[in-house]
Structure formats: structure tokens, C-alpha cells
Amino acid sequence: MVLIGEETARELRKLRHELADEYDLDERLFEIGGRSFSILSVLDSYALLDRIDPQEFLKDEQMPYWAEIWPSAITLSSWIARELKPAGKRAIEIGSGVGLVSVIAAATGASMLVTDYSIEALRFVHYNAMMNGVSLESARLDWRNVQCSERFDCLFAADVLYERVNLLPIANAIDKLLKPGGKAYIADPRRSMAEQFLGIVSENGFRVTSFSTKYEGGSKPVPVNIHMLERKTECR
């Protein structure tokens, strides 16, 4: 159980009150790496579709995928805690949503920069980090136009390979954000789009090693692949 100071508790209550005024909330407990994590998200992400500004949608066609905790994020989080154990690594997550993956990575010792295109998602990230007693940084990031100059040891992404138009921008973002010797870990529920993405990164200097696993916490198992990307010139 995480012990929360009085000042943090006040900030948590204030932020949760603000979020509850805007969203129907859902709070779930996850047992990962021998520890319980409480993660706040939106109860019904589909309800947010009515709140999309048509003009904003025409500009960038952003859907509220951030509001849901996807099986790939849960699976990647468990894999990070069980297999990767990134203590001492500087890491970034792109397309973080409400931040489950980054909270777990931070709890296992990674120094995390958590990013999403949605400012709303980052409010949930802030809450979930405080609630679970982890320290991390957050920033808005558009993978179509990466403005981050820092390079990272690890990059995490879960369930981001869902639209063809994003495949090359994500590949370019990974190339720009990884330092020499860095590795990216991409979790995906075996969508056909992922195969196209792996072809793109393979043609652009990355070696791919894939691990097959599954999410078993729902009504039926969801197959999930975790793809590790590293530059071919650094694999010799």
C-alpha cells in the first residue's frame, strides 16, 4: 500500500473532483509485479465521441482512444515488471493514454517521460502517478512532428498501430527518440496493421524481435505481441 502525504492527498482529491465533474470515472486495481496499482480512467470512452469538436476532428482526426485501458497496455506493463525490469533506464512512452505502462515502468525503477497527444490524457497520468506514489515527467507529444530533443534508452508504446497513416510517423518518432543502443517495445493485439509497421521499420534500419503473449483478464483471452526494435547496425 502506498503511503500518501497530506499535501498529496489534498491535490489528489482536488484533481479527482475536477475530473469527476467532466467524466464518468472508472478506477481499477491491477496486480502487477507483486504490487497493487490503482488506475483511474474513463468509464465509457465511447461517450466522449459526442464531445469531439467537428472542426478539430477535421484538422487531425483524433479519437478518444486515450480514455480506455487496452489489453496491450496491461500486457506490456506486466511484461516490463516481469521481464524487462528497467531500473536505472531513461525511458519514454508515446501514446500513453492514462499512463498505466509508465506508472509500472516508473515503479520498477525507470526514469519516465510520459507523452500523449491529448492534454486530457496527461491529467489522468498525473493523478495515477500521484495515487501510486511514483515520480515521472509528462509532456504533450505529436508523433507526426516530434519536438523532443532528448534521446532515451527505452521507448514504450501500447496499441498505437491502428491507422495506416500513423505507421511511418511512429517509425520516424522511434528513430528520433532512441539513443544509440536504445530499444523500443511496442505491444499490439496482433492487428494486420502491425505487420505493415514491422515491414516499415525493418526496411528503415531496425531489427525486430517479437514475443508472443496474451491478456487473460477479460471475458476471453486477447493475443498480444510485444515487438522489440533495435537498430541493425547496433546488433552485430
The CA distance from 114 to 93, in Å, is: 5
pLDDT (tens digit per residue) in 85-131: 899 999 999 999 999 999 999 999 999 999 999 999 999 999 999 99
Confirm whether 28 is domain-assigned: yes
155 within some domain: yes
Separation CA 204–CA 222 (nearest Å): 30
- Residue 15 included in any domain: yes
Q: Listing from the earlier edge strand, what are the strands of the sheet with 152-158?
A: 137-140, 111-116, 90-93, 152-158, 178-188, 222-231, 206-215
Q: Can you give the pTM of this predicted structure?
A: 0.92
Contacts of 142 (CB under 8 A, 6+ apart): 117
Q: According to the model, what pLDDT value does residue 3 have?
A: 64
H helix or E strand, kind and range, residue 21: helix 6-22
Mean local confidence (pLDDT), 183-189? 97
Mean pLDDT of 3-17: 87
Residues 24-67: tens digit of each pLDDT: 899 999 999 999 999 999 987 656 656 655 555 445 556 668 88
Q: Chain-centre distance of CA 235, in angstroms?
A: 26
- Taking the C-alpha atoms of residue 6 and residue 80, their distance in angstroms, rounded to an integer, is 31
The reported pLDDT for the residue numbered 236 is: 53
* 67 within domain boundaries: yes
DSSP result, 171-229? HHHHHHHEEEEEEEEEEE---HHHHHHHHHHHHTTEEEEEEEEEE-SSSS-EEEEEEEE
Domain-located, residue 1 = no
Across 63-88, average pLDDT: 91
**Which structural domain, as residue segments, surrounds residue 163?**
6-234
Tally the domains of the chain.
1
Q: What is the CATH number of the domain that holds 182?
A: 3.40.50.150
Share of the chain above pLDDT 70, in %: 89
pLDDT-based confidence at residue 234 (cuts at 50, 70, 90): low
